[in-house]
């Protein structure tokens, strides 16, 4: 039996509608959810990402201000801008688009750590990551949260399920492991460079962050499993997932396509964090 294809676009549209209603309510209270996007340098793909984040913010009725700094911006100038935005009460969320230009690479962590945790809508700050591990209130990283939101929207019981995360990063693999644990799953985190197949074969839920096109095939998956693919590998000008969709879809119960699965959910979860930040400001939890 073929798997059900998860429509990330439709799920994102539902969340967008909900967020638009919340923004409308916030505006009635005089709060206009505002996101400051910092783009340093002239990389075209970064500029494109920043534009789509601004558009998504405006799409729910929020306000996005883009601060485009020159390629030769110094660390001090960048930190000065972050400090100004941290202190600006009209700004609820701050995002510095990565990667930074080459001369600022060694300072990326310093830059991300300079954003106030309560304005850190990317959820990269150690305070947000630490609170996720503790199980306290915090922002959840957007790609990891997108995976969990998809599972919730499918309406499957997460408690007691065995989730296997083939991943590694602080943006996806590590946080999604903690999030699924919070939801009551037994979670196994396996590094993509380890022999992950014995684990994926047992999994009720598989989350992939492999970084290799079509690395996970149908025979590595338990029949009926839910497969969430965060991969976006460029192959001959096309975005290809970590999962070999055709063979996996013959075995899985549900599967996200690439593109059209996790991707559309990522940006909306960023806007979700922005709206949470603005609600907090308004004293609404
Ligand atoms: N560059 C690529 N992905 C991201 C992201 O999620 N956040 C930021 N700030 N930069 C990125």
pLDDT by residue (tens digit) across 229-259? 999 999 999 999 999 999 999 999 999 999 9
Are 157 and 253 part of one and the same domain? yes
Calculate the average pLDDT of the chain. Answer: 97
Ligand 1 atom at shortest distance from the alpha carbon of 143: 6
CA angle 106, 176, 3 (to 5 degrees): 125
In the prediction, which pLDDT does 174 show? 98
183 within some domain: yes
273 within some domain: no
Q: Which residues are catalytic?
A: 53, 97, 122
Are 180 and 235 part of one and the same domain? yes
Distances (CA, A) of 104 to 20, 46, 84, 101: 36, 15, 19, 6
User: Separation of 97 CA from ligand 1 center, angstroms?
Assistant: 5
Are 38 and 89 part of one and the same domain? yes
Q: Is 69 helix (H, G, I), strand (E, B) or coil?
A: strand
274 within some domain: no
**Region 10-16: what's the mean pLDDT?**
98
Share of the chain above pLDDT 90, in %: 98
Are 60 and 146 part of one and the same domain? no
Domain hosting residue 146, numbered range: 139-264
Start-end of H helices in the chain: 8-28, 44-59, 75-87, 108-113, 126-134, 142-154, 173-182, 197-200, 245-249, 262-281
Contact 256, 6 (CB under 8 A): yes
| Residue 284 binned pLDDT confidence (cut-offs 50, 70, 90) | confident
Q: Give pTM, 2 decimals.
A: 0.96
- Which CATH number fits the domain that encloses residue 237? 3.40.50.720
13 within some domain: no
What are the pocket residues of ligand 1 if the criterion is a CB atom closer than 6 Å to any ligand atom?
95-98, 122
**Region 198-212: what's the mean pLDDT?**
98
80 within some domain: yes
278 within some domain: no
Are 168 and 77 part of one and the same domain? no
- Which CATH number fits the domain that encloses residue 57? 3.40.50.10860
Phi, psi of 189 (to 5 degrees): -100, 120
Ligand 1 atom at shortest distance from the alpha carbon of 141: 6
Strands 238-240, 233-235: pairing is: antiparallel
Are 82 and 143 part of one and the same domain? no
Q: Is the pLDDT of residue 166 over 80?
A: yes
Cα–Cα nearest to 213, from 181, 247, 240, 250: 240
Question: What is the 8-class DSSP label of residue 212?
Answer: S
């Amino acid at each position: 039996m073929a798997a059900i294809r998860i429509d990330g676009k439709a799920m994102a549209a539902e969340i967008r509608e909900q967020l638009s209603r919340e923004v409308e309510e916030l505006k009635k209270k005089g709060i206009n959810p505002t996101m400051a996007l910092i783009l340093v340098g002239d990389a075209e793909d970064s500029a494109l990402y920043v534009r789509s984040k601004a558009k998504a913010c405006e799409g729910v009725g929020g306000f996005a201000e883009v601060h485009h700094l020159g390629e030769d911006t110094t660390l001090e100038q960048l930190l000065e801008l972050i400090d100004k935005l941290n202190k600006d009460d009209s700004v609820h969320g701050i995002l510095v688009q990565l990667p930074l230009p080459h001369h600022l690479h060694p300072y990326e962590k310093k830059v991300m750590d300079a954003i106030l945790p309560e304005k850190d809508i990317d959820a990269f700050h150690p305070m947000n990551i630490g609170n996720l591990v503790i199980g306290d209130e915090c922002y959840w990283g957007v790609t990891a949260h997108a995976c969990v939101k998809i599972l919730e929207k499918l309406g499957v019981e997460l408690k007691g399920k065995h989730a296997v995360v083939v991943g590694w990063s602080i943006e996806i693999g590590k946080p999604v492991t903690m999030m699924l644990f919070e939801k009551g799953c037994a979670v196994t985190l396996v590094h993509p460079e380890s022999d992950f197949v014995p684990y994926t074969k047992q999994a009720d839920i598989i989350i992939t962050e492999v970084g290799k096109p079509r690395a996970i095939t149908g025979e590595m998956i338990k029949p009926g499993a839910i497969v969430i693919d965060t991969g976006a590998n460029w192959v001959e000008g096309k975005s290809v997932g970590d999962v070999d969709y055709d063979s996996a879809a013959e075995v899985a119960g549900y599967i996200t396509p690439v593109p059209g699965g996790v991707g559309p959910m990522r940006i909306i979860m960023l806007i979700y964090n922005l709206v949470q930040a603005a609600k907090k400001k308004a004293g609404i939890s």
